[in-house]
Structure 1
Amino acid sequence: MNAQPIRLLLADDDVDDRFFFKDSLSKLPIETRLTTVTNGVELMNLLLTEKDALPDVIFLDLNMPMKSGFECLTEIMSNDKFRDLPIIIYSTSMDEPVVNLLFEQGAFRFIRKPGEYSKLKDVILKGIDSLANRAFQPSKDNFVIQSQ
């Protein structure tokens, strides 16, 4: 069976975080195709002008210049073209009221960026594996993906 690569879009303004994400992704036992953008304006422009297939999932940082991840999530969820696109919030912040708000706004999952590079591959894989059940937003108890 020849499965298509999983198309990921990473929106993160931190150059190191993008590098570590890409490096970790390359070490996973799955075929992927990664596109990156550095801020929310780039993300929305890319989505709105995309003529080919949309990504299979967006990993979205919350704190970005020009347009925050919150603003992007709101725009994505309000657009019928993107409403079924799984958004995995990928952030250093782990403020419970913020996480609850993201869940209510329709984010698919929340991953706290691990402090250790060695744990990054694990949380990215968990996020990608969770796409198998993307027809349903997980329960609030299973919304957050944590590193071991």
Structure 2
Amino acid sequence: MMVEKYERDTMNIMLADDDADDRMFFEEALSSTPIKFNLTLFKDGFELMDYFSNPESELPHILFLDLNMPGKSGIQCLEELRAIPRLREMSVAIYSTSSADRDIEDTLSKGANIYIQKPSNFEKLRKVISHVLKTNWQFHMSGLNKETFFLNI
């Protein structure tokens, strides 16, 4: 994991996902967008929470958080992140293969900003990432409900 200081017009994006192929697929799709970014990757929930346990840690513009990680799940990470005052307003996108209503409702109630079902192809993933990164999350949160929470492209 490498963390750098960020330029003003560059998005600071983080992804926590235990699947190396999914991390690589995400990075390739992100690289195919016109968005300037710095991407920090975490291989599991423990590594993610260890990073955020440092009060000096750089905050992302958005964190993409895999729901089903072994050891410390995405839902556990979300609960822990929202319990830390300086992280309560951080934008968190749940990024999962699951489309189960219970997972969607749980993450909505625990403070995620959006729920993204992992797309099965590269072009859909590129579109999802572009859409999510262009959203003003502080504005978007005011009208959040289950229909606006689950992103389906």
TM-score (norm: length of structure 2) = 0.89
Go from structure 1 to structure 2 and tell me whether the alpha carbon gap of 1:113 and 1:84 turns closer, same or farther (over 3 Å shift).
Answer: same
- 1:73-130: CA deviations, max 9, x gaps? 0000111010010110000000012101111111000100011222110011111112
CA distance in 2, matches of 1:133, 1:117: 24
CA distance in 2, matches of 1:134, 1:74: 19
Q: Is the 8 A contact 1:126 1:145 kept in 2?
A: no
CA distance in 2, matches of 1:51, 1:79: 13
CA distance in 2, matches of 1:50, 1:14: 27
Output aligned runs, 1:23-42, within 5 Å.
Answer: 23-42=28-47
Unaligned runs of 5+ in 2: 1-6
Q: Is the 8 A contact 2:15 2:39 kept in 1?
A: yes
CA distance in 2, matches of 1:88, 1:126: 12
Structure 1 residue corresponding to 2:54, chosen from 49, 53, 62: 49
Q: Is the 8 A contact 1:40 1:64 kept in 2?
A: yes
CA distance in 1, matches of 2:132, 2:65: 12
Number of the residue aligned with 1:128: 133
Number of the residue aligned with 1:105: 110
* 1:52 CA displacement: 4.7
Output aligned runs, 1:2-41, within 5 Å.
Answer: 3-41=8-46
Tell me how large the CA RMSD over aligned residues is.
1.5
Unaligned runs of 5+ in 1: none
Q: Is the 8 A contact 1:9 1:55 kept in 2?
A: yes
Go from structure 1 to structure 2 and tell me whether the alpha carbon gap of 1:73 and 1:52 turns closer, same or farther (over 3 Å shift).
Answer: closer
Secondary structure of 1:64's partner? coil
Structure 1 runs of 4+ off > 4 angstroms? none
| Residue 123 of structure 2 corresponds to residue 146 of structure 1 | no
